[in-house]
Amino acid sequence: MSGTDTPDPDRVIALGRVVGPWGVRGWIKVEPFAGAQHTTLARAPRWRLDRAEGPAQPGLHRWIDLERARRHSGTVVAKPVGCEDRDGALALKGAEVGVRRRDFPPLGEDEVYWADLVGCALSNPAGEALGTVSAVDDHGAHPILVTDAGVMVPFVEAYLVEVDPERRRIVVDWRADWSR
Protein backbone atom coordinates (compact mmCIF):
# COMPACT_ATOMS: atom_id res chain seq x y z
CA MET A 1 0.00 0.00 0.00
CA SER A 2 1.15 3.50 -0.63
CA GLY A 3 -0.12 7.03 -0.22
CA THR A 4 -0.79 9.24 2.73
CA ASP A 5 -4.12 7.73 3.76
CA THR A 6 -3.03 4.08 3.72
CA PRO A 7 -2.21 2.16 6.89
CA ASP A 8 1.26 2.69 8.32
CA PRO A 9 3.48 -0.35 7.52
CA ASP A 10 5.14 0.08 10.93
CA ARG A 11 1.78 -0.05 12.73
CA VAL A 12 1.80 -2.82 15.32
CA ILE A 13 -1.16 -5.20 15.23
CA ALA A 14 -1.91 -7.40 18.24
CA LEU A 15 -2.11 -11.05 17.16
CA GLY A 16 -1.90 -13.10 20.34
CA ARG A 17 -0.92 -13.43 23.99
CA VAL A 18 1.94 -15.22 25.74
CA VAL A 19 0.29 -17.97 27.79
CA GLY A 20 3.48 -19.19 29.45
CA PRO A 21 6.81 -20.92 29.02
CA TRP A 22 7.23 -23.91 26.73
CA GLY A 23 9.87 -26.23 28.09
CA VAL A 24 12.86 -25.19 30.18
CA ARG A 25 15.15 -23.50 27.63
CA GLY A 26 13.57 -20.06 27.27
CA TRP A 27 10.82 -20.85 24.76
CA ILE A 28 7.41 -19.19 25.12
CA LYS A 29 3.96 -20.37 24.05
CA VAL A 30 1.61 -17.89 22.34
CA GLU A 31 -2.13 -18.30 21.88
CA PRO A 32 -3.14 -16.51 18.65
CA PHE A 33 -6.28 -14.36 18.78
CA ALA A 34 -7.51 -16.01 15.55
CA GLY A 35 -6.47 -19.11 13.66
CA ALA A 36 -5.00 -17.32 10.66
CA GLN A 37 -2.48 -15.52 12.89
CA HIS A 38 -0.31 -18.65 13.21
CA THR A 39 1.52 -17.99 9.95
CA THR A 40 2.13 -14.30 10.64
CA LEU A 41 3.39 -14.95 14.16
CA ALA A 42 5.66 -17.81 13.07
CA ARG A 43 7.19 -15.82 10.19
CA ALA A 44 7.72 -12.40 11.79
CA PRO A 45 11.35 -11.77 12.84
CA ARG A 46 10.38 -9.44 15.73
CA TRP A 47 7.49 -9.18 18.12
CA ARG A 48 6.27 -6.29 20.24
CA LEU A 49 5.38 -7.42 23.77
CA ASP A 50 3.03 -5.26 25.83
CA ARG A 51 1.56 -5.93 29.24
CA ALA A 52 -0.08 -3.43 31.58
CA GLU A 53 1.25 -3.02 35.09
CA GLY A 54 -0.53 -5.43 37.43
CA PRO A 55 -0.42 -6.63 41.03
CA ALA A 56 1.37 -9.86 40.12
CA GLN A 57 3.66 -8.64 37.31
CA PRO A 58 5.37 -5.44 36.22
CA GLY A 59 4.43 -3.68 33.00
CA LEU A 60 6.17 -4.72 29.81
CA HIS A 61 6.62 -2.71 26.63
CA ARG A 62 9.46 -3.84 24.39
CA TRP A 63 10.50 -5.40 21.11
CA ILE A 64 12.04 -8.87 21.05
CA ASP A 65 13.95 -10.58 18.26
CA LEU A 66 13.26 -14.26 17.71
CA GLU A 67 15.77 -17.05 17.21
CA ARG A 68 13.01 -19.38 16.02
CA ALA A 69 9.23 -19.65 15.96
CA ARG A 70 6.86 -22.34 14.72
CA ARG A 71 3.29 -23.54 14.89
CA HIS A 72 2.51 -26.09 17.58
CA SER A 73 -0.92 -27.64 18.29
CA GLY A 74 -3.03 -24.53 17.72
CA THR A 75 -0.42 -22.22 19.26
CA VAL A 76 2.92 -20.73 18.26
CA VAL A 77 6.07 -21.52 20.22
CA ALA A 78 9.04 -19.19 19.95
CA LYS A 79 12.55 -18.73 21.30
CA PRO A 80 13.27 -15.04 22.01
CA VAL A 81 16.88 -13.91 21.68
CA GLY A 82 18.41 -13.67 25.16
CA CYS A 83 15.70 -15.70 26.91
CA GLU A 84 17.65 -18.74 28.14
CA ASP A 85 15.52 -20.44 30.78
CA ARG A 86 12.01 -21.12 32.03
CA ASP A 87 12.13 -18.20 34.49
CA GLY A 88 12.92 -15.76 31.66
CA ALA A 89 10.03 -17.16 29.62
CA LEU A 90 7.68 -17.07 32.63
CA ALA A 91 8.41 -13.34 33.04
CA LEU A 92 6.79 -12.77 29.62
CA LYS A 93 3.53 -14.56 30.51
CA GLY A 94 0.42 -12.44 29.89
CA ALA A 95 2.09 -10.10 27.39
CA GLU A 96 0.16 -9.23 24.26
CA VAL A 97 2.15 -10.05 21.11
CA GLY A 98 2.11 -7.57 18.26
CA VAL A 99 3.66 -7.67 14.79
CA ARG A 100 4.40 -4.79 12.42
CA ARG A 101 2.01 -4.75 9.45
CA ARG A 102 5.00 -4.86 7.06
CA ASP A 103 5.93 -8.30 8.48
CA PHE A 104 2.62 -9.90 7.47
CA PRO A 105 2.85 -12.48 4.65
CA PRO A 106 1.83 -11.26 1.18
CA LEU A 107 -1.82 -11.70 0.25
CA GLY A 108 -3.29 -13.50 -2.71
CA GLU A 109 -5.62 -11.87 -5.18
CA ASP A 110 -8.96 -10.83 -3.66
CA GLU A 111 -7.63 -11.31 -0.12
CA VAL A 112 -7.46 -8.66 2.57
CA TYR A 113 -6.24 -8.49 6.14
CA TRP A 114 -8.99 -7.45 8.52
CA ALA A 115 -6.56 -5.04 10.19
CA ASP A 116 -6.40 -3.11 6.89
CA LEU A 117 -10.18 -2.61 6.90
CA VAL A 118 -10.14 -0.68 10.19
CA GLY A 119 -10.19 3.02 9.36
CA CYS A 120 -11.83 2.58 5.95
CA ALA A 121 -14.83 4.76 5.11
CA LEU A 122 -17.95 2.63 4.65
CA SER A 123 -20.69 3.74 2.26
CA ASN A 124 -23.34 2.31 -0.03
CA PRO A 125 -23.65 2.70 -3.83
CA ALA A 126 -25.99 5.69 -3.34
CA GLY A 127 -23.15 7.50 -1.55
CA GLU A 128 -24.75 7.32 1.90
CA ALA A 129 -21.96 7.39 4.49
CA LEU A 130 -22.28 4.51 6.96
CA GLY A 131 -19.32 5.52 9.14
CA THR A 132 -15.70 4.49 9.47
CA VAL A 133 -14.84 0.85 10.20
CA SER A 134 -13.76 0.70 13.84
CA ALA A 135 -13.56 -3.10 14.17
CA VAL A 136 -14.03 -6.37 12.34
CA ASP A 137 -15.69 -8.89 14.66
CA ASP A 138 -15.92 -12.61 14.02
CA HIS A 139 -19.12 -14.16 15.32
CA GLY A 140 -18.64 -17.64 13.89
CA ALA A 141 -20.84 -17.58 10.81
CA HIS A 142 -19.01 -14.65 9.20
CA PRO A 143 -17.11 -11.48 10.05
CA ILE A 144 -18.99 -8.26 10.73
CA LEU A 145 -17.81 -4.74 9.92
CA VAL A 146 -18.56 -2.41 12.85
CA THR A 147 -18.49 1.35 12.30
CA ASP A 148 -18.04 4.30 14.61
CA ALA A 149 -21.64 5.25 13.72
CA GLY A 150 -22.99 1.99 15.17
CA VAL A 151 -23.67 0.39 11.78
CA MET A 152 -22.89 -3.33 11.53
CA VAL A 153 -22.60 -5.01 8.13
CA PRO A 154 -21.86 -8.69 7.45
CA PHE A 155 -18.54 -8.94 5.61
CA VAL A 156 -19.82 -11.41 3.04
CA GLU A 157 -19.77 -11.35 -0.75
CA ALA A 158 -23.54 -10.83 -0.99
CA TYR A 159 -23.20 -7.29 0.44
CA LEU A 160 -19.75 -6.29 -0.82
CA VAL A 161 -19.67 -3.98 -3.83
CA GLU A 162 -16.07 -2.75 -3.51
CA VAL A 163 -13.32 -3.32 -0.96
CA ASP A 164 -10.36 -0.99 -1.51
CA PRO A 165 -8.07 -0.77 1.53
CA GLU A 166 -5.47 1.19 -0.45
CA ARG A 167 -7.98 3.99 -1.05
CA ARG A 168 -9.37 3.44 2.49
CA ARG A 169 -12.94 2.76 1.37
CA ILE A 170 -15.50 -0.01 1.31
CA VAL A 171 -18.80 0.12 -0.60
CA VAL A 172 -21.57 -2.23 0.54
CA ASP A 173 -25.14 -2.93 -0.53
CA TRP A 174 -26.55 -1.80 2.81
CA ARG A 175 -28.56 1.02 4.36
CA ALA A 176 -27.78 2.70 7.67
CA ASP A 177 -31.26 2.02 9.09
CA TRP A 178 -30.88 -1.76 8.58
CA SER A 179 -28.48 -1.99 11.53
CA ARG A 180 -30.53 -0.12 14.09
Asked if 1 and 9 touch (Cβ cutoff 8 Å), the reply is yes
The pLDDT of residue 5 is 43
The enclosing domain of 80 has a CATH number of 2.40.30.60
The enclosing domain of 131 has a CATH number of 2.30.30.240
- The CA distance from 146 to 150, in Å, is 7
List pLDDT tens digits, range 161-173.
Answer: 999 999 999 999 9
List pLDDT tens digits, range 36-48.
Answer: 678 899 999 999 9
List pLDDT tens digits, range 48-104.
Answer: 999 988 777 778 899 999 999 999 988 999 999 999 999 999 999 999 999 999 999
Q: Which domain holds residue 130?
A: 114-175
Residue 64 within any structural domain of the chain = yes
Looking at the fold, whether 79 and 24 belong to one and the same domain comes out as yes
Looking at the fold, whether 137 and 55 belong to one and the same domain comes out as no
- Could you tell me the CA-to-CA distances from 23 to 85, 86, 121 in Å, in that order? 9, 7, 46
Residue 146 within any structural domain of the chain = yes
Q: How many folded domains does the chain comprise?
A: 2
Residue 7 within any structural domain of the chain = no
